[in-house]
Amino acid sequence: MWQAIVGFIGGPVIKGLLDAYNAHLQATTSDKQIAADLAGKEIAAQAAEAQTQTQLKIAQVGHPWEPEKLAFYITLVFYAKCIIWDKVLGLGTTPQLAGDVSTWAGMIMGFYFGKRTFENVARIIKR
C-alpha cells in the first residue's frame, strides 16, 4: 500500500509538478529573452538614430571650402586684423575700405549671417 502511495506521488504527481515548474522557468526565461532582444534592438535603433543625426549635421554644415565660406574667411581676416592688430594691440593702421570693396564686404557679412539666421528660423518653423 505504501509503495502504491509513494509510486503514485513519486510518479505522475511529481512529474507533473516538475513539468509545470520547468514550463514556468522556460516562460520566465523566454520573457527575459524577449526583453533582452527588445533592449538590444532599442540600443541598435538609438545607435542608428545617433549616426543619422551626425550625418544630417555634416550635411547641413557642409565643407569649409565652399565659396560662401571662403569669402567669409577673407572678410573675417580683414576685420580681425583691423580690430585685433590695429585697435587692440595698436601695432598698425589699415586704410578704410572704399568703393565696391566695402560694398562687397558688407554684402558678404550680411549674406553669411542672414543666411544662417534664415536657415535656423526656417528649421524651427518646419518643426
Cβ contact 101:108 at 8 Å = no
- Model confidence at 23: pLDDT above 50: yes
Per-residue pLDDT tens over the stretch 67-93: 777 878 888 888 888 888 888 888 888
Position 8 scores a pLDDT of 55
How many Å apart are CA 58 and CA 56, to the nearest integer?
5
How many Å apart are CA 64 and CA 102, to the nearest integer?
24
Q: Where are the domains of the chain?
A: 1-62, 63-127
How many Å apart are CA 112 and CA 119, to the nearest integer?
11
Per-residue pLDDT tens over the stretch 28-70: 667 766 766 777 778 778 888 888 888 887 776 777 777 777 8
Phi, psi of 63 (to 5 degrees): -110, 150
